[in-house]
Amino acid sequence: MIHLLFTGGTISMQRSSEAGGAVPALDGAALVGLAPGLAAAGPITVEDWGRYPASHMGLDRLWALRNRVAEIAATSGVRGIVITHGTDTLEETAYLLARTLDPTVPVVVTGAMRTSEEEEWDGRQNLVDSALVAGARDSRGRGTMVVLHGTVLSGLEAVKTDAGEVDTFRAPRGMPLGIVEQGVVRFSATARRAAPLPTLPTALTARIAMLPAVVGDGGALVDAARAAYDGLVLVAFGRGNMQPALAAAAQRWFDEGKPVVLATRCFTGEVLPIYAFEGGGARLIQAGAIPAGPRAPSQAWMELVVSRSAGMAYGAGMEA
């Protein structure tokens, strides 16, 4: 049995002349009716968990979703789970699920970049492809994956790269796990299965800020956020560099024992301790900043939320 869990997003939206744009409209049954190809994946069950835009998925709602998925995965007879989700924050949700769920039962997160009224609607094929991946025998043990536009990505690596194109999800710091082509799921021979889980939080309680370095930044926003947040993801230039004044503001977080994760604003590549000038990434790491590793800023943020909520160091038990 494939369990289809509908949470909303563009895949469930239609245009409203009254509202002046696309709004949530379709439930799970309606979407299944628009995707007759789902029959190829075998028996399915449908659950309407919600009808939310991606931007409405706060931490409490995400944790409730994570717990519901864990319950479904523990149900006898469930081969895989497909979650429809808005694409704007799909990468945070996928990372959370990949990071906190047992990888045995495959979970596939999907969505759409077009509404069902548009000629180029991608939701139908994404839904069918996702169900095929969720039910594939070789998917077992791969944990949470993201499937859109025929590409299978790890939930730890998938990132939305374009605001409007249907081929938007990529793994800029990783590699695709596989593809779905003409109804056949093909995993790469080098695609690894998911690793065992580290200690998990009981809720997402950590308050984590994420702020960018900008030219001429004197650190006022970083200072202002310090009292209200438990940790910070600082999105720096290049290999982790910033203005000296901003680095000094980050130091004040270290002085209070609050973690600062150093990410890069670059699309690919990682923060590394190369530059030792004042404000350079090497200086910041020496002072206590934690490199984000192979994570986009959004993923580094979710990793710090999970880690700090569990009382662990950033990425504890994970490959850096």
Token representation of residue 301: 């943020």
Token representation of residue 313: 């160091």
Q: Which amino acid is at 93?
A: T
Please confirm, yes or no, whether 10 is among the known catalytic residues. yes
Spatial distance between the Cα atoms of 228 and 208, rounded to a whole number of angstroms: 9
Spatial distance between the Cα atoms of 122 and 114, rounded to a whole number of angstroms: 6
| String of DSSP letters for 104-146 | SS-EEEE--SS-TTSTT--HHHHHHHHHHHHH-GGGTT--EEE
Whole-Å CA distances, 34 to 45, 50, 193: 15, 19, 32
Spatial distance between the Cα atoms of 31 and 112, rounded to a whole number of angstroms: 12
Q: Which of 7, 10, 93, 264 is catalytic?
A: 10
Token representation of residue 62: 């995400």
| 291 C-beta neighbours (distance < 10 Å), count | 23
* CB-based contact 225:209 (threshold 8 Å): yes
Token representation of residue 214: 């900008």
User: Looking at the annotation, which residues are catalytic?
Assistant: 10
